[in-house]
Amino acid sequence: GYGDSDLQKKITPIIFAQQIQEFLIAQQIEKFSIISVSGGAPFALAIAHVMGDAVQKVACIGSVGPITQSSFFYLSAQQRKFW
């Protein structure tokens, strides 16, 4: 988590996207666009996947690159579970 929010240890981009979907439905937001920076790209893309036609545009800026077998070595244990 950030700030005063609780850390969600088992969060994945899809679970996060489902949480955002619940929030948007509760707020009666039917159409929206997403912008992400750096490591936010997998989450933004997961929202676009889960929400489909509700997403008008997605912009990913300075996004993380694909994980390769050689770069996987440098990830922490928590990051390896995520990927």
Split at pLDDT 50, 70, 90, the class of 83 is low
Instruction: With a cut of 90, say whether residue 2 has pLDDT above it.
Output: no
Do the beta carbons of residue 47 and residue 15 sit within 8 Å? Answer: no
Do the beta carbons of residue 44 and residue 13 sit within 8 Å? Answer: no
Instruction: With a cut of 90, say whether residue 7 has pLDDT above it.
Output: no
Predicted TM-score (pTM) of this structure: 0.73
Q: What is the pLDDT of residue 1?
A: 62
**How far is residue 33's CA from residue 56's CA, in Å, rounded to a whole number?**
5
* pLDDT digits 0-9 by tens, 9-50: 888 899 999 999 999 999 999 999 999 998 889 899 999 999
For the CA atoms of 19, 25, 26, 30, what is the dihedral angle to 10 degrees? 130
